[in-house]
Amino acid sequence: MNIGPYDLDDTLLPAARDTGTPQLALYQYDRVAVVVGRGGNPQREVDLAAAARSGVPVLRRPGGGCAVVLDRGNLVVSLALPLPGLGAIRSAFNAISDWMIAGLSACGVSPVTQRGISDLAVADRKLGGSCIYRTRGLLYYSSTLLVAPDLTLIDQLLPHPVREPDYRRGRPHREFLTSLAEMGIANDPQEFRSGLEPALRQELTALWTTCRGFILTETA
- Per-residue confidence (pLDDT) for residue 116, from 0 to 100: 92
Q: Over range 61-66, report the average pLDDT.
A: 91
Cβ atoms 74, 180 nearer than 8 A: no
- Is position 16 within any domain? no
- Is position 118 within any domain? yes
Amino acid at 42: P
- Is position 59 within any domain? yes
Cβ atoms 59, 31 nearer than 8 A: no
What letters, b where the CB count within 10 A reaches 16 and e where it falls short, cover 155-188? Answer: eebbeeeeeebebbeeeebeebbbbbbeeeebeb
- Is position 4 within any domain? no
Q: Over range 40-55, report the average pLDDT.
A: 96
Strands (E), 136-218: 138-146
Instruction: Inform me whether the pLDDT recorded for 220 exceeds 50.
Output: no
Distances (CA, A) of 51 to 155, 162, 177: 12, 18, 21
CATH code of residue 115: 3.30.930.10
Residues whose CB is less than 8 angstroms from the CB of residue 103 and which lie 6 or more positions away in sequence, other chains included: 196, 199, 200, 203
- Per-residue confidence (pLDDT) for residue 219, from 0 to 100: 53
* Mean pLDDT, rounded, of the chain: 95
- Is position 131 within any domain? yes
Residue 169, Cα to own-chain centre: how many angstroms?
A: 21
- Is position 156 within any domain? yes
As a whole number of angstroms, the distance between CA 200 and CA 197 comes to 5
Tens digit of each residue's pLDDT (9 = 90 or more) over 48-60: 999 999 999 999 9
Domain count, the chain: 1
Domain that holds residue 177: 22-219
- Is position 102 within any domain? yes
Tens digit of each residue's pLDDT (9 = 90 or more) over 145-197: 999 999 999 999 999 998 899 999 999 999 999 999 999 999 999 999 999 99
- Is position 11 within any domain? no
Tens digit of each residue's pLDDT (9 = 90 or more) over 132-150: 999 999 999 999 999 999 9
Cβ atoms 173, 154 nearer than 8 A: yes
